[in-house]
Amino acid sequence: MQQNNPNTAKIIKAYAEEKVVTEPGTTTKTHAIDMSNIVKSDVDAKLADEKVCIEITDFNLFYSGKQALKDINMTIPDKRVTAFIGPSGCGKSTLLRCFNRMNDLVDGVTIEGNIKLEGNDIFDKNVNVADLRRRVGMVFQKPNPFPKSIYENVAYGLRIQGIRDRRTIDTVVERSLKGAALWDEVKDRLDDLAMGLSGGQQQRLVIARAIAIEPEVILLDEPASALDPISTLKIEELIYELKDKFTIVIVTHNMQQAARVSDYTAYMYMGEMVEFNDTSTLFTNPNKKMTEDYITGRYG
């Protein structure tokens, strides 16, 4: 791992901040996150200037008639990290799972409105869902490696695409594992079962698996919620590095995490998009009272 990454120091500092926040008697503090410590160099870019990757228009989603997402309108910028925050059940995971049409697998889901990936409607009936999912990769809350070797886990997506050339696969496996900062830890045991890795390693393996097929977008559904702080730190560093190459959308419960890793943050509540703005603005100067209540911990 890149122990001398300048960002590491910031993140570790952010952990220290977190402790302060959770101590009693800090409610007088207006904002949960002291953004001055974790301001990113490129955060001054504004949403309107960004190249659009995903565009969501008047989007509604119903689970067997019960509305889970209400009139969502937003654009997700290209090659940036966008975070969805909000209380449990607010629909942030549901929205995330729309981007690669994972909700197709759930019975009784109906949708209205549209989502465009680089200008093309992903719900168009001519869209091949498998192709869509190749372009929009996903990492789940709990690490879900296949009961195969580490090597085969990463090679899975390639094999699905019919790639058989051993050398190509070797190259991609190595590059992906390096990209997921896992290569040094597993290079001597690529043929071991993936189940033998620790939770954090498994989650990075799953990320390696996702980036092996070179998607355009990576969806992260609470990727660190089942991990210990050290593993969480590594995943966050990884996200920071991956955003040069991929558009990343992350759902998280952890506001510090959202503040640390994302360029843009959306706050959702009860299926509605309450506020969407660049991260530093949203955390330091939210437009809505509801957002402020949530990020200062007054909500619930």
Partner 1 sequence: MKLKIKNWFDTGAPFVWLNAGAVSISIIMVVGLILLIAVRGLGHFWPADVAVFDYYAEPGDAPVRLMGEMVDEEVVSRSRAGNPGYEGETIQRNLIKTGNRDISGLDFRWILDAGIKNKAYPDNSMVVERREWGNLYAFLTSIELDGQQYNNESGNLWDRFQETITKNNGIYADIKHIEKDLIGAINYKMERLRLKERGLELKSQKTPEKVAALVQQREVLQLEYDSYTAELERLYGILNGSSFTAKTAEGKEIKIALAKIVRAYQPNAMDIFDKSIFYLEKFWEFLSDDPREANTEGGIFPAIFGTVLMVMIMAVMVTPFGVIAAVYLREYATQGPTTRLIRIAVNNLAGVPSVVYGVFGLGFFVYFLGGSIDQLLFPEALPAPTFGTPGLLWASLTLAILTVPVVIVATEEGLSRVPRAVREGSLALGATKAETMWRTVLPMTASAMITGLILAVARAAGEVAPLMLVGVVKLAPSLGLDGNAPFLHLDRKFMHLGFHIYDVGFQSPNVEAARPLVYATALLLVMLIIVLNLTAIRIRNSLREKYRAAEQS
If one asks whether residue 100 binds partner 1 (CB under 8 A), the answer comes out as yes
- Cβ neighbours for 6, distance < 8 A, ≥ 6 positions apart: none
If one asks whether residue 220 binds partner 1 (CB under 8 A), the answer comes out as no
If one asks whether residue 156 binds partner 1 (CB under 8 A), the answer comes out as yes
Residues 146, 148, 154, 158, CA torsion sign? negative
If one asks whether residue 133 binds partner 1 (CB under 8 A), the answer comes out as yes
Residues 105-124 that bind partner 1 (CB under 8 A): 105
Count residues near partner 1 (CB under 8 A): 28
If one asks whether residue 102 binds partner 1 (CB under 8 A), the answer comes out as yes
Q: How far is the CB of 148 from partner 1 (least distance, A)?
A: 8
Q: How far is the CB of 195 from partner 1 (least distance, A)?
A: 3
Residue selected from 46, 51, 159, 189 as contacting partner 1 according to rule CB under 8 A: 159
**Cβ distance to partner 1 smaller for residue 137 or 200:** 137
Q: How far is the CB of 209 from partner 1 (least distance, A)?
A: 7
**Cβ distance to partner 1 smaller for residue 194 or 261:** 194
The alpha-carbon radius of gyration of the chain (Å, integer) is 19
Distance between CA atoms of residues 98 and 80, nearest Å = 19
* Inter-helix orientation angle 229-242/6-22, to 10°: 130
Residue selected from 127, 146, 241, 272 as contacting partner 1 according to rule CB under 8 A: 146
If one asks whether residue 131 binds partner 1 (CB under 8 A), the answer comes out as yes
**Cβ distance to partner 1 smaller for residue 12 or 130:** 130
If one asks whether residue 140 binds partner 1 (CB under 8 A), the answer comes out as yes
Give the range of 159-167, 236-244, 249-257, 263-271 binding partner 1 by CB under 8 A. Answer: 159-167
Q: How far is the CB of 235 from partner 1 (least distance, A)?
A: 17
- Cβ neighbours for 279, distance < 8 A, ≥ 6 positions apart: 35, 43, 83, 258, 259, 262, 263, 264, 265
Shortest CA distance to 138 belongs to which of 55, 247, 231, 254? 247
- Contact set with partner 1 (CB under 8 A): 100, 102, 105, 130-131, 133-134, 137-138, 140, 142-147, 156-157, 159-161, 193, 195-196, 206, 209-210, 213
